[in-house]
């Protein structure tokens, strides 16, 4: 995630001029925050948060900076947030009876966070199907994450289906 802090004139069309270079370079915009209360000399500070394709991140960011400079938009700050990646997995088996809290805790110890959990049962005593949406940091590769999940699933006799 990238957080860009700029100053743009308080005139119609300025925001579009800010957005264009980001979207033209493949940016996925998550949020825009205007600081009207901090307006100075008709210039408004704006924070824009967006995501870039990981593989093209460096080049795309350079292109965005260049395009903004050409449009005379001054960049006050660029913050590269801690990258989180996402994965959806399904576990089938006695997911709850084999201590789902332990599963979540063990993942959390590796920096893997459960963001969402959804379960489907036929009978409460039967095997359950549980979908986990996980966030994992850049420091862990997808292969390492899957390896960790496989260890847990093997130990608890669960079937793992991942994307």
Partner 1 sequence: MKLNCCLIGKGNVGTCLLELIEEKKPTLKNMGIDLVVIAIFEFDGALINHNGLNISKIIEIGDNFRNLEEWNENLSALDSIPNLNLDICIETTPTNPKTGEPAISHILKAIENHIDVVASNKGPFYLHYRKIDNLARQNNCFVKYEATVASCVPAISIKESLLANEIISIKAILNGTSNYILSRMSSEGVDFSLALKEAQELGYAESDPSLDIEGYDAAGKIVILSNALLDWNMNINDVEINGISKITPQAIELAKSDGFVIKHLAIAKNNKLIVKPRMIDKDSPLNIGGTLNVIEFKTKHAGPIILMGRGAGGYEAASAILNDIISIHKIRSRR
For binding to partner 1 (CB under 8 A), which residues are involved? Answer: 88, 90, 92, 118, 120-122, 127-131, 133, 159, 161-163
Q: Taking the complex as a whole, how short is the minimal distance between the CB of residue 161 and partner 1, in angstroms?
A: 5
Distances (CA, A) of 107 to 58, 148, 151: 30, 8, 11
The DSSP secondary-structure symbol of 12 reads T
Cα separation of 139 and 150, whole Å? 19
C-beta closer to partner 1: residue 6 or 89: 89
Q: Which CB sits closer to partner 1, 65 or 113?
A: 113
Q: How far is the CB of 146 from partner 1 (least distance, A)?
A: 11
Tell me the two tokens of residue 84: 């989180």
Nearer to partner 1 among residue 19 and residue 90 (C-beta): 90
Least Å distance between CB 153 and partner 1? 11
Q: DSSP letters of 26-56? A: T-EEEEEEE-GGG-BTTEEEEEEEEE--GGG
């Amino acid at each position: 995630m990238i957080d860009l802090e700029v100053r743009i004139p308080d005139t119609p069309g300025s925001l579009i001029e800010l957005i264009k270079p980001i979207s033209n370079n493949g940016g996925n915009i998550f949020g825009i925050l205007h600081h009207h209360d901090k307006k100075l000399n008709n210039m408004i500070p704006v924070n824009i948060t967006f995501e870039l394709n990981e593989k093209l991140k460096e080049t795309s960011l350079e292109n965005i900076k260049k395009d903004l400079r050409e449009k005379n938009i001054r960049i006050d700050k660029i913050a590269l947030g801690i990258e989180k990646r996402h994965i959806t997995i399904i576990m089938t088996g006695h997911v709850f009876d084999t201590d789902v809290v332990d599963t979540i805790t063990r993942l959390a110890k590796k920096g893997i966070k459960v963001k969402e959990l959804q379960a489907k049962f036929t009978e409460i005593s039967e095997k359950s199907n549980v979908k986990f949406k996980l966030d994992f940091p850049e420091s862990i590769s997808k292969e390492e994450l899957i390896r960790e999940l496989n260890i847990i699933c093997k130990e608890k006799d669960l079937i793992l289906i991942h994307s």
